[in-house]
Amino acid sequence: MNIKNKRWIRIRIYITGICFFLVFLLIFLRAYQLQILEGSQLSSLAKKSYTGKLTLTSQRGTIFDRNGKELALSIEVDSLYCYPKKIKDKKTAATLIARALDIDKRDVLKKLHSSRSFAWIKRKVTPEQLKKIRELNITGTGFIKESRRYYPCMETGAHVIGFASQDNRGLEGIELQYNWFLEGKETRFNRIHDALGRSLVFDGPRIEKQESFNLILTLDKDISYKAQKALRKAVSRSRARSGVCIVMRPQTGEILAMAVVPEFNPNIFWHSKPFEWRNRAITDCFEPGSTQKTFLLAGALEEGVISPETVLNCEKGEYAIGNFIIHDSRPYGMLKVSEIIKFSSNIGAIKIGQRLGAERFHYYLKRFGFGEQTGIDFPGERKGILRPIRNTSLIGKNTLCFGQGISVSPLQLAMAFGAIANGGHLMRPYLVKSIVDQKGKAIRNFYPFIRRDVISSETAKKVRGVLEGVVRKDGTAPKAEIKGYSVAGKTGTAQKVDPIKKIYSNTKFVAIFGGFTPSDSPALVILVALDEPKGIPYGGIVAAPVFSDVGYWTLNHLNVVPSFPPARWRAGQQDLSHPIERKEKIVALSPDLPGSIPNLKGLGVRDVLKKAKQLGLKVVVKGSGMVVEQVPEPGTPIEKDRLLTVIFRPPC
Amino acid sequence: MKKGRKGSVKLFHFFAIILFLLLLAGISHVWVSFERTHIGYSLSQLKKEIVQIEEYNRKLKLEIASLKSPERLENKAVKEFDLRYPLPKQIVFLP
């Protein structure tokens, strides 16, 4: 190789080197530009293309009754939407959609012709409709998941629970009062997705987390159902305008049931009118009528101005106060205080009131919670009217004794009866027992709260004794009697004021019965009020049967043992008005030896339990139907604390 | 001359090992990335399934609540099974 060639090779090497250098320099400069100068901007752009945020709307919380049964819950349903511009043959699409959804074709067509890019066709469709629309496969339509509220008990407890709107916002009742807890907030996640938009993983901490909470109410679904049913029947039978039935635990102030008629179904609340949504137990007020005499009696006994045995002159049914004459339903003469309450004498009540004094009576009415809100956790509570005593005329002071010139809500009245029932404590009523998170952990509990002590327990006991007389055969409310249980209560038949004539109407009344049972150890306070019953308007006739019906059922439901067996039961006689048909096959039994285990084969559970109770045996019941086997065998001598295992099988 | 050749072989071996390790690291990285993506898809799918099952569970709860509504049960008991409320004397209270 000559020198010339060697030089040429070197030049070529240099040229190649320079080229490489320039290319690398270019790459370096580009890398510098991308990584250093525009690095942060480009990396954020890249991140945006594969990461995103997913927003999840939390489900509205569930509302349970006191036994954990669902009263309101939300589930996801599909809503049909469309992109009007993407639908080519709008007329055919509208016909098919309208047929599948069973709605007016013109409405659908109007939505498909909408100038907007997005339009709802029908929100919250049923699964059947969803299937039909999916089968149609119309381009430009689709479904979005939305939450829908359901109330499985329908009318039962509806006035307490209220309802939520389509957008899951509480509109009435507990749904409105506790909306903040039930609603929950949106939850946002960071996510990584692929080019097709499919989520890979939920990454990083949640940006915002606010789950909805569940509510546990004091209501009992079964008691509420019974109260609603009994009230519905009473309102229908008496052709009343409306009715209210409150069932409450006097020791705690827990509301077990709050039934209102007219009723509505919260699942389709838009089909009923707003006045039907109103919880009249809390928002409506009326004059308490003769039920007021209970609190007059309590005040007078507490002050010691009378005793149940004090005899007062009832003026043969006519008593003049100024220019007014007060009448009684019957011309009573001399009556004991207990009889005044039992027969509900207005003149007798005035005489008690005169002994107590108007100011002291007014003081006790205030102490019993009239003229102020009870503090229940429910929207729209009214406090009623209790005028200052200095602004009240002489006749007004006297008529106040039998419940005129004052306005109270059914709930106030129930709470005041509760104070008599529980020994003198005025409780705050409440509807929500606790607020729990989605895992069931309580974040807030509500406890019984004594607002104040109104009367002593001795006075309360005396009042209870007097009120027991009201439900006796010669009292004003024998229909309130509950077989096997002692009952104390008071009737009221309050005249309504004619809004035009501004005088008391002789045709419009509110029939009331308030009371508690068992009277010696009250487990329940029940208040029933019917507005404008037609025909006989007396509280003892139209409202008391509801008390008896609901009370009997509820006491059984709560396993409250009867205070005493009914008279017929005690005498061992059969109730001929309700003959019991025995369908079971009667099995001839061998005579039982005294002091030994009887032969129980062929008997039903009820008979076995009765027999075991008589013999003082403990029974283990297995299966249902009739006895097929028993351990120990019949004829075995009965030992102390003997356990009897009885196996039942359904009859063939 | 022999020494220089031996040095070159060692250097070749060294680079070969480095290259192999780099290759191994690269393959591992790709494998891990693939697994990560795969698990990511599985996780996402499982989360979807959980949401669906939870929703199904809620729907079943609603159905149970509707089936157990006192009105329905009472209608069924009275009309289908001819049951009646017990009379006071028919109720036995256990001690």
For the annotated catalytic residues of A, the residue numbers are: 290
Q: Which of A292, A411, A437 is nearest to A361 (CA)?
A: A292
User: Could you tell me the pLDDT band of residue A598, with boundaries at 50, 70 and 90?
Assistant: confident
**pLDDT for the residue A65:** 94
A570-576: which pairs have CB atoms within 8 A and are 24 or more residues apart?
A575/B87, A575/B89
CB-based contact A249:A268 (threshold 8 Å): no
Q: Do A132 and A141 form a contact (C-beta atoms < 8 A)?
A: no
Q: Is B58 in contact with A580 (Cβ distance < 8 A)?
A: no
- CB pair distance less than 8 Å for B92 and A610: yes
Chain B residues with beta carbon closer than 8 angstroms to that of A610: 92
Q: Tell me the C-alpha to C-alpha distance, in Å, between residue A194 and each of A43, A54, B33, B37, B47.
A: 17, 14, 13, 9, 17
Separation of CA A513 from chain center: 21
State ipTM.
Answer: 0.70
- Rounded to an integer, the average pLDDT of A235-250 is 96
User: How far is Cα A377 from Cα A178, in angstroms, rounded to an integer?
Assistant: 9
Nearest to A159 by CA among A147, A171, A169, A148: A171
Highest average pLDDT, of A110-124, A367-381, A597-611, comes from A367-381
Look at residue B6 in the predicted model and tell me its pLDDT.
80
Chain A (215-234) residues lying within 8 Å, Cβ to Cβ, of chain B: 221-222, 225-226
Query: Does A578 touch chain B if contact means CB atoms closer than 8 Å?
Result: yes
Which is nearest to A168 in space by CA: A274, A71, A272, A74?
A74
Q: Could you tell me which chain A residue has the CA closest to the CA of B35?
A: A200
Residue A583's pLDDT band (boundaries 50, 70, 90)? very low
CB A162 within 8 A of CB B79: no
Read off the pTM. Answer: 0.76
Band (A581; pLDDT cuts 50, 70, 90): very low
What are the structure tokens assigned to A642, written together? 């003997």
Residue A340 near residue A346 (C-beta atoms within 8 A): no
Nearest Cβ partner of B87 from A152, A154, A575?
A: A575
Query: How far is A258 from A450, CA to CA, in rounded Å?
Result: 21
Domains and CATH numbers, chain A: 55-217 (3.90.1310.10), 223-567 (3.40.710.10), 586-652 (3.30.10.20)
Coil, helix or strand for A134?
helix
Nearest chain B residue to A555, by CA: B88
Query: In this complex, which of B59, B70, B88 lies closest to A225 when CB atoms are compared?
Result: B70
Question: How confident is the model over A443-454, as a mean pLDDT?
Answer: 95
Least Cα separation, residue A154 to chain B (angstroms): 9
Q: Which of A152, A559, A562 sits opposite B65 (nearest CB)?
A: A152
Tell me the shortest Cα–Cα distance from A459 to chain B, in angstroms. 32
Q: Which of A73, A154, A609 sits opposite B61 (nearest CB)?
A: A73
Does residue A107 sit at the B interface (CB-CB below 8 Å)? no
> Lowest mean pLDDT: which of A86-100, A112-126, A596-610?
A596-610
Candidates A451, A277, A463, A457; CA nearest to A370 is: A451
Q: Which amino acid is at A213?
A: F
Q: Which residues contact A87 (CB under 8 A, 6 or more apart)?
A: A93, A112, A138, A139, A140, A141
B88–A75: do the CB atoms touch at under 8 Å?
no
Under 8 Å between Cβ of A282 and A246? no
Of residues A201 and A73, the one with the higher pLDDT is A73
- Closest residue of chain A to B46, computed from CA coordinates: A201
Inspect the interface and report whether the beta carbons of A200 and B40 lie closer than 8 Å. yes
- Residue A558 neighbours by CB distance under 10 Å: 14
B37, B69, B72, B78, best to mutate vs chain A, most A CBs in 10 Å: B69
Q: Is A152 on the interface with B (CB under 8 A)?
A: yes
Q: What distance separates the 2 farthest-apart alpha carbons in chain B?
A: 121
Between A182-196, A409-423, A546-560, the lowest mean confidence (pLDDT) is in A182-196
* DSSP E strand stretches across A469-625: 488-497, 504-517, 524-531, 618-622
Category of A122 on φ-ψ map: left (φ > 0), alpha (ψ -120 to 50) or beta: beta
**Per mean pLDDT, which of A53-67, A106-120, A146-160 is the most reliable?**
A146-160
Task: Report the Cα A150 to chain-centroid distance in Å.
Answer: 15
Out of A248-252, A317-321, B90-94, the most confident range is A248-252
Which helix (H) or strand (E) segment is A626 a member of? strand A626-631
Of residues A199 and A513, which shows the higher confidence score?
A: A513
d(CA A216, CA A69): 9
- Segment among A143-147, A389-393, A581-585 with least mean pLDDT: A581-585
Task: Please give, rounded to a whole number of angstroms, the shortest distance from the CA of B9 to a CA of chain A.
Answer: 27
Among residues 68-97 of chain A, which lie with CB inside 8 Å of chain B? 69-70, 73-76
Confidence of residue A574 (pLDDT cuts 50, 70, 90): very low
pLDDT digits (tens, 9 = 90+) for A474-513: 899 999 999 889 999 999 999 998 888 888 888 899 999 9
- Taking CA–CA distances from A561, the nearest residue in chain B reads B93
Find, among A293, A338, A283, A291, the residue nearest to A312 by Cα.
A338
Structure tokens at A648: 């039942």
Q: What is the pLDDT of residues B24-37, one digit of tens each?
A: 999 999 999 899 88
What residues does A629 pair with on adjacent strands? A647
The answer to whether the beta carbons of residues A635 and A597 sit under 8 Å apart is yes
Q: Does the beta-carbon distance from B87 to A580 stay under 8 Å?
A: yes
Q: Give the C-alpha separation, B61 to A372, whole Å.
A: 41
Residues in A touching B72 (Cβ below 8 Å): none
Contacts of A222 in chain B (CB under 8 A): 70
Cα–Cα distance, A526 to A647 (Å, whole number): 41
The closest of A381, A189, A219, A420 to A285, measured between CA atoms, is: A381
All residues of chain B having their beta carbon less than 8 Å from the beta carbon of residue A609 are 92, 94
From the number of C-beta atoms within 10 Å of its C-beta (0-12, 13-18, 19+), residue A103 rates as middle
Mutate to test the interface with A, among B37, B39, B47, B58 (most CBs of A within 10 A): B58
Q: Can you list the positions of beta strands (E) in A370-441?
A: 385-386, 406-407, 425-427, 432-436
Using a CB-CB cut-off of 8 Å, the residues of chain A touching B93 are 559, 561-562
| Per-residue model confidence (pLDDT) at position B95 | 63
Helix (H) or strand (E) holding A367: helix A358-367
* Distance from the A158 Cα atom to the nearest Cα atom in chain B, whole angstroms: 13
What's residue B31's pLDDT?
95
Q: What are the residue ranges spanned by the domains of chain B?
A: 2-65
Q: Is the peptide bond before A518 cis (omega within 30 degrees of 0)?
A: yes
Q: Are A403 and A457 in contact (CB under 8 A)?
A: no
Verify whether the Cβ–Cβ distance B58 to A613 is below 8 Å: no
For range A222-242, the mean pLDDT: 95
Token pair in block for residue A528 = 């029933």
Q: Do A566 and B47 touch (CB under 8 A)?
A: no
Average pLDDT score, chain A: 86
